A and B are shown apart, each in its own frame.
Chain A
């Protein structure tokens, strides 16, 4: 990393060392993800961004710093401080006081985290220092296991609080220094991590030792010598002793004492104690401290453990090997394992305050859960593109070895926060955008101008292209064009070109798109009040059609169709006094009965449309028609757009399985008996290929379909969804639609769906540097060839996941570049190209890869991959493949980056420490492991939904957000700190909110204070709370306001309005709620987090052995 960075950024160089240090630290911090104070954070950032914002870090560093010793010393000096310090780096809480104190001061979670992180860090270190580390690594683990054993105590003693801290510090220092010195950032970072974690808990001491060994490790990684030196330097004294001890202990311990799995444990024990440990060792060790902050306390202690699971502690085969002491403890302390909440919180604290500047190649952006600003300086914002890894293996062998999928999650039309600027629109006039002659890549910041600016060399294929005369510009002394800053395409990562007529269908500029509203008016729809509701809503909604920029009115034309067994088109031409209805009953051979007057401008035909919308509910009020058609409805829309020669979007409101005699007629084939059989896949496949062909036609015309479903029974979402899915549309499903409870949700969805930014007739192509190639695509689109992603419509929520594979070698120097070019028609009918560029680093060391991964993105990819897999393979196969792949990823890490530790330890890469928990969530999801209450339609629906989700959505979908409402600070805007999704975390006396992007649950404990109930629900007792509520009552008290504002805020963050469900503890609905407590064992057989972690560990060990 650092090397790369330096290489790339001139400025960084300026302050290499500091930056470096800073970098490492930050990296460290960053990796550890602790909730470090800002200053620390800054430091962190400083480093990375680095170089750009040296100040904060510097301040920090200095002390820590460089003066490795000095700082350490100082740190050491305040023993308390030192820890604090470290703590500060990771988790301030700890700093507050010894574990206990920290626990007390900070949210338990927090503390817990820090320790974990530490653990992570350690892991990291071990990774880098693999050989050496072993002991340390093992040690940390040991703690976990050790705790119980006597040895632990000894270790403990040895470590002794102070020493521990010292050691830790040293470790840190060492890590830092190493990092700094070593050109190879990785190792340091690793060390840093390692250190971090280690530092905290006494274990840190142990870790350090590893750190010590680290040097060698570092050596391994890259710059062995330098790093080693620093390590030595810093660590020597204490380390030596420590090391000595450790080594001794570890070594012996590893194999000896902690007979269980790993000898190193002893040293680790401490840590483990800290991490897992609380459970066992820690408690004893920390004794009071922990108890004080039960969970928290413990976490701090156990730092690294999270990543490393003690095999021992894990109720796994290994248990047998465990010493008797361990055996008794079958359970692993949930607090000891990596906590998503903590990771999120840490990232938020570390990275939320500073803008993310995209100027540097291969930077890992903050997590999706973190609020941050993006400054585009040449790479696309992570809001547009996120990668599973920002450091790509140079060779395919490496990639294969790691099994880490290389994928980018692209959201080409993502909505940006108001503070960020939209992509600039570049108009090159008639000549159109400048492109590489060979690969047709578009002009971008990575293109190299040569020969005084007369030509440019393509950054993707190296082909040299003449600069067109009108585009010529001189170069300055650095080889940059003089107009570099004037041209978005030369200085920004994302921008748009105005397309010329060559980019248009039939060489004709497109007409403005059209929206066609197609409303089911069969008996069910009318009776439920849906038809009236839609018509009412449309009256006002039509004024909010998307418009371009600051145009006065939307260019989009609208049309209306109602249907049951036949279709009714409406002529709403402005010159008519009354709308005219045209019935087409020839559904076998659909056509559009009218041209003029079907698609109209809203303002011109306002009165006619209003009249129509008034009359539709009346006209069908007495309908007896229960049968519906479906395919002809889409065909009708398609034909209408064809006739009008424009692209557009169909909004179809549909209620039932289309059983009327017509093309695309479906039969009920719902059969739950198929679940868990080889035929289960058929439930996800469309019944007939008819819809696939239809979708193809739709895409060709740019006819996007959004489907709103209101089923009262099975309606075969898998089949009905084919067209919306392949045309880039959305599906919304409101099962058992009830006007009173669901209308608000539906209307919100509808409003948003109608208003949101959308492009039509889109084609996306991803170009990459020679060496890798986009090979696979996931999302809602259609592909007629292997490279072009075609979407009839693409809105701001739609995401495409692209997988890359090597077809050649990449070089570390030039890195890997992606250019995603999206050709689309804007809502005003303008043809445009949106270009997103992203540069990634390339590595020859696996450690670099693992250090620059993004688990959330990885999960996004894996989920989509698996969800597509169920179409073709039995679900079990898919699940196994998923587990296997992840096991391989982690095993590879273990083997290549963290090998020094004992084989029995679970060591997770810092960046992937959440992989197991998230993976478990994916495996437990309704698609892959349906509970009894999950319908076939739900599964198909979710399957399609997930396929278009971006990283933030998959994140919260798979690991829902659980907020203790009663802990909310009524006076501030902030959300209460989230807690982990486990029933254990729920207190009877509190009210919680859980959201996953589709639903919002408000869980009320049985012994919640009456006052709160009164304030929130307006009823006097728990038993009076109605769980039929779909919204919270509006009450004038701070608590109610706060809760409602929280709900509103959360709703605002999601692309769909979530259904609000009130769950009372011990009520039957609670079963449903519990389904979302994903860390727990699920009723449908999904493993608890702990169990799954053990399972993964087992898998990994099997792979390693």
Chain B
């Protein structure tokens, strides 16, 4: 089994792909009986230190419906200079440039270690990156100041030739012209009126015909960028200007009377931002960065009225169908997101406020375009500041960890079809022979657009085995999948990354153990979770849980070893052993539970869950808990209430939060000040250790997690207590009567109870 683990790990490192099954059931029927669909988590731009891009165009299969890229799995006839497409079996001539190839002189794409390869291609004009700041000015002075500083700082992080633009909004929306000297100029729009893209462009003077009016010829030559440059200017040119402009940014000057929310035209502002880019830089990588400090309160996309006495919608309201503006607002933002995505522009949302800001309605803007979604309490927190800074962080090679306008094309060998994808993408509606009729996630296509992605962006892609039961696959046959990702690199180059993978087929009836052994329960948990979360967006919470439970039970029935109706006899093989636990925590997670979460929070959590890679996703599902004590080196411990001991320091990472929890005794020691005494330096070190580790996590995580330092009995300890398995509660505190641990005041079932039920149901002959 270790081999499979290694294999999986290798594959992930090389290709950024993790399949739920690494040996594939060879017929449709069997595949459906496997319960967990054949699917993979794909990290298209997984950072590869050892992968220098090649500087030529990929060689494509000549069949128009295929166009697969030449890869190591292809059979090559070196003499005839032919290659056979391993997807459609079309035989193709090598292009003239490949005349010199031979067994010993292979191009990179034919070498097995280059199952993932990246091409740099020269296509079209290179346009610099575009960053359009959309800034809410209805903020508290302090917040605005902090935001202004962050924005000013960000200018220094941008590539000098990047184009930058600024839109501010409050009651009105202002599009700032950045080219002018002296007087600062902005176009102002009413915050209540939805304008069509055409209108916006007319009003901004971007329409083509308006320009060559007088001078016809002479003016036409400078071309379109000149026009748009009024609003989008290279950073290096208007650095100072923009800094000043940001510095002079005032709070929205319109008076807000007592008991009212400020009027915030987020909907229109976004619409204008989208319209502006649409008109000036279609199909070019661009980032709309929305900074908002509260819910949209007027115009299209308003989420709540300006009366403070009517609170913003809660899950309760939504369930009761009491959220008046939700549907309309959601529709507005969806339209925007789709328009934006169609043009390859992404929308980031940085929402910092104590109350909700309407992420629920706006989530699709980030979800569909691959934009970031960041939620914080205030722009004046390090959470926001560092997160924002990290947006512009650079990779090992000094390049921005962001890419734009990616186009993911998936090709499968003929036994497979593509059922769908879940991730920060939209469908490109590319129908083809390899597109399944059954949809899982965003389906009906073999191509998706990911407007913005970074090295950790991960999509879940679901397949369907279509091979009929009575059409066996020859022994040793392999199924192949090719992922072709064309994207705009942060250096503005167009690149194409091609990953081709193959897996063995196995007959589930005869070789079930192979299949079983090749099960990747981590990937499967995440893939199932994505499906669950995807469903949760549209279905009632309990239904999703029921579906998830049923899937789990079926899986246990299929792969468990047990005697009928004897729960105690139930065993799962090692490759499945953790799966139920993942599902247990998933059920409790904020991705599926809305209790105690606002709609915005749910949207926020789900957003991140749908795009992070496997490791991070797992952390989200089942937080990691480390224990620090004098009894030994730091060790991971069970996410269980029994792990909460007085003489331990716990470090929990839930992805969204980092919690450092001092056990009762430790907390007392700390209060007593032992750490300051030279003779207790070891205690000081003990206290420091989790901090250092937390720091390490904080360094790399995006978005910055909420950092919580608490202790036994502290109010913030709830973050920990709500996550651990409530193995000890007020109900069973004495029954378990073990050494210690902390009882959790909850009626939630514990993992033990869950497992008991699971076993019972799995072995039950009734189901």
| Partner-B contacts on A (CB < 8 A) | 566, 568-569, 573, 576-586, 589, 591, 593-597, 611-612, 615, 618-619, 624
Is B474 close to A, CB under 8 A? no
- Taking CB atoms, residues of chain B closer than 8 Å to A584 are 187-189
Q: Is the CB of B182 within 8 A of A615?
A: yes
Q: How far is the CA of A578 from the CA of B187 in the complex (A)?
A: 17
Q: How far is the CB of B579 from the nearest CB of chain A, in Å?
A: 57
Please provide the 3 A-B residue pairs with the shortest distance between their CB atoms, ordered closest to farther. Answer: A593-B188, A596-B253, A585-B203
* Of the residues B186, B203, B244, contact of A581 by C-beta under 8 Å: B186
Q: How far is the CA of A871 from the CA of B533 in the complex (A)?
A: 72
- Taking CB atoms, residues of chain B closer than 8 Å to A594 are 172, 188, 253
Is B538 close to A, CB under 8 A? no
Closest to A573 in B: B250
- Taking CB atoms, residues of chain A closer than 8 Å to B253 are 594-597
Q: How far is the CA of A615 from the CA of B180 in the complex (A)?
A: 11
Enumerate B339-360 residues with CB–CB distance to A below 8 Å: none
Q: Is the CB of B204 within 8 A of A593?
A: no
Closest to B188 in A: A593
Q: Is the CB of A583 within 8 A of B188?
A: yes
Is B80 close to A, CB under 8 A? no
* Of the residues A580, A612, A615, contact of B186 by C-beta under 8 Å: A580
Task: Given A576-B248, A596-B253, decide whether A591 and B203 contact each other with a Cβ distance below 8 A.
Answer: no
- Taking CB atoms, residues of chain A closer than 8 Å to B172 are 591, 593-594
* Of the residues B183, B189, B202, B204, contact of A578 by C-beta under 8 Å: B183
Q: Is the CB of A619 within 8 A of B190?
A: no
Closest to A579 in B: B183
Q: Is the CB of A582 within 8 A of B183?
A: no
- Of the listed residues B187, B195, B202, B205, the one surrounded by the most CB atoms of chain A closer than 10 A to its CB is B187
- Taking CB atoms, residues of chain B closer than 8 Å to A578 are 182-184, 248
Closest to A587 in B: B203
Enumerate B198-222 residues with CB–CB distance to A below 8 Å: 202-205, 213-215
Q: Is the CB of A619 within 8 A of B204?
A: no
* Of the residues A585, A611, A612, A618, contact of B187 by C-beta under 8 Å: A585
A-B contact count (CB 8 A): 75
* Of the residues B177, B182, B187, B214, contact of A624 by C-beta under 8 Å: B214
- Taking CB atoms, residues of chain A closer than 8 Å to B280 are none
Q: How far is the CA of A589 from the CA of B195 in the complex (A)?
A: 11
- Taking CB atoms, residues of chain B closer than 8 Å to A615 are 182-183
Is B261 close to A, CB under 8 A? no
Is B602 close to A, CB under 8 A? no
Q: How far is the CA of A989 from the CA of B186 in the complex (A)?
A: 64
- Taking CB atoms, residues of chain B closer than 8 Å to A612 are 183
Q: How far is the CB of A527 from the nearest CB of chain B, in Å?
A: 13
Scoring B residues 252 to 290 as 1 if CB is less than 8 Å from chain A, else 0, what string do you get?
011100000000000000000000000000000000000
User: Can you show 27 pairs from A to B with CB atoms below 8 A apart?
Assistant: A566-B205, A573-B250, A576-B248, A577-B244, A578-B182, A578-B184, A581-B183, A581-B184, A581-B185, A581-B186, A582-B174, A582-B187, A583-B186, A584-B188, A585-B187, A585-B189, A585-B204, A586-B189, A589-B190, A591-B172, A594-B253, A595-B253, A595-B254, A596-B250, A596-B253, A611-B182, A624-B215
Q: Is the CB of B189 within 8 A of A624?
A: no
Q: Is the CB of B205 within 8 A of A585?
A: yes
Is B193 close to A, CB under 8 A? yes
Q: How far is the CA of A582 from the CA of B172 in the complex (A)?
A: 11
Q: How far is the CB of A557 from the nearest CB of chain B, in Å?
A: 15
Closest to B255 in A: A595
Q: Is the CB of A580 within 8 A of B183?
A: yes
| Partner-A contacts on B (CB < 8 A) | 172, 174, 177, 180, 182-190, 193, 195, 202-205, 213-215, 244, 248, 250, 253-255
Q: How far is the CB of A580 from the nearest CB of chain B, in Å?
A: 5
Q: Is the CB of A585 within 8 A of B183?
A: no
- Taking CB atoms, residues of chain A closer than 8 Å to B205 are 566, 585
Q: Is the CB of B190 within 8 A of A582?
A: no
Closest to B205 in A: A585
Q: How far is the CB of B217 from the nearest CB of chain A, in Å?
A: 14
* Of the residues B180, B182, B203, B244, contact of A566 by C-beta under 8 Å: B203
- Taking CB atoms, residues of chain B closer than 8 Å to A619 are 180, 182-183
List 12 other contacts, CB 8 Å, given A584-B189, A596-B253.
Answer: A577-B244, A578-B183, A581-B183, A581-B185, A582-B186, A583-B186, A585-B202, A585-B204, A586-B189, A589-B193, A612-B183, A624-B214
Closest to A582 in B: B188
- Taking CB atoms, residues of chain B closer than 8 Å to A569 are 188
Q: Is the CB of A624 within 8 A of B202?
A: no
Q: How far is the CB of A617 from the nearest CB of chain B, in Å?
A: 12
Q: How far is the CA of A624 from the CA of B218 in the complex (A)?
A: 13
- Of the listed residues B183, B190, B202, the one surrounded by the most CB atoms of chain A closer than 10 A to its CB is B183
- Taking CB atoms, residues of chain A closer than 8 Å to B250 are 573, 596-597
Q: How far is the CB of A524 from the nearest CB of chain B, in Å?
A: 13
Q: How far is the CB of B269 from the nearest CB of chain A, in Å?
A: 13
Closest to B211 in A: A624
* Of the residues A580, A585, A618, contact of B185 by C-beta under 8 Å: A580
Q: How far is the CA of A579 from the CA of B186 in the complex (A)?
A: 11
Closest to A591 in B: B190
Q: Is the CB of A580 within 8 A of B190?
A: no
- Taking CB atoms, residues of chain B closer than 8 Å to A624 are 213-215
Closest to A623 in B: B214
Q: How far is the CA of A597 from the CA of B214 in the complex (A)?
A: 35
Q: How far is the CB of A173 from the nearest CB of chain B, in Å?
A: 80
Closest to B174 in A: A582
Q: How far is the CA of A279 from the CA of B758 in the complex (A)?
A: 133
Q: How far is the CA of A596 from the CA of B186 in the complex (A)?
A: 16
- Taking CB atoms, residues of chain B closer than 8 Å to A579 are 183
Q: How far is the CA of A760 from the CA of B234 in the complex (A)?
A: 49
Q: How far is the CA of A611 from the CA of B181 in the complex (A)?
A: 13
Q: How far is the CB of B503 from the nearest CB of chain A, in Å?
A: 58
Q: How far is the CA of A596 from the CA of B172 in the complex (A)?
A: 13
- Taking CB atoms, residues of chain B closer than 8 Å to A597 are 250, 253
Closest to A598 in B: B253
- Of the listed residues B182, B193, B214, the one surrounded by the most CB atoms of chain A closer than 10 A to its CB is B182
Q: How far is the CA of A569 from the CA of B214 in the complex (A)?
A: 25
Q: Is the CB of B187 within 8 A of A583?
A: yes
Closest to A595 in B: B253
Q: How far is the CA of A589 from the CA of B186 in the complex (A)?
A: 18
Q: How far is the CA of A580 from the CA of B190 in the complex (A)?
A: 18
* Of the residues A576, A577, A591, A593, contact of B174 by C-beta under 8 Å: A593
Q: How far is the CA of A624 from the CA of B212 in the complex (A)?
A: 10
Q: How far is the CB of B268 from the nearest CB of chain A, in Å?
A: 11
Q: How far is the CB of A816 from the nearest CB of chain B, in Å?
A: 51
Q: How far is the CA of A780 from the CA of B86 in the complex (A)?
A: 88
Q: How far is the CA of A584 from the CA of B204 in the complex (A)?
A: 9
Q: How far is the CB of B273 from the nearest CB of chain A, in Å?
A: 16
Q: How far is the CA of A576 from the CA of B204 in the complex (A)?
A: 25
Q: How far is the CB of B119 from the nearest CB of chain A, in Å?
A: 44
Q: How far is the CA of A440 from the CA of B174 in the complex (A)?
A: 51
* Of the residues A577, A581, A596, A611, contact of B248 by C-beta under 8 Å: A577
Q: How far is the CB of B429 from the nearest CB of chain A, in Å?
A: 35
Q: How far is the CB of A885 from the nearest CB of chain B, in Å?
A: 53
- Taking CB atoms, residues of chain B closer than 8 Å to A586 are 189-190, 193, 195, 203
- Taking CB atoms, residues of chain A closer than 8 Å to B193 are 586, 589
Closest to A577 in B: B248
Q: How far is the CA of A139 from the CA of B475 in the complex (A)?
A: 144
Closest to B204 in A: A585
Q: How far is the CB of A612 from the nearest CB of chain B, in Å?
A: 7
Closest to A618 in B: B182
Q: How far is the CB of B209 from the nearest CB of chain A, in Å?
A: 13
Q: How far is the CB of A629 from the nearest CB of chain B, in Å?
A: 13
- Taking CB atoms, residues of chain B closer than 8 Å to A596 are 250, 253
Q: How far is the CA of A626 from the CA of B445 in the complex (A)?
A: 51
Closest to B175 in A: A583
- Of the listed residues B172, B244, B255, the one surrounded by the most CB atoms of chain A closer than 10 A to its CB is B172
Q: How far is the CA of A597 from the CA of B202 in the complex (A)?
A: 27
Q: How far is the CB of A64 from the nearest CB of chain B, in Å?
A: 76
Q: How far is the CB of A569 from the nearest CB of chain B, in Å?
A: 7
Closest to A581 in B: B185
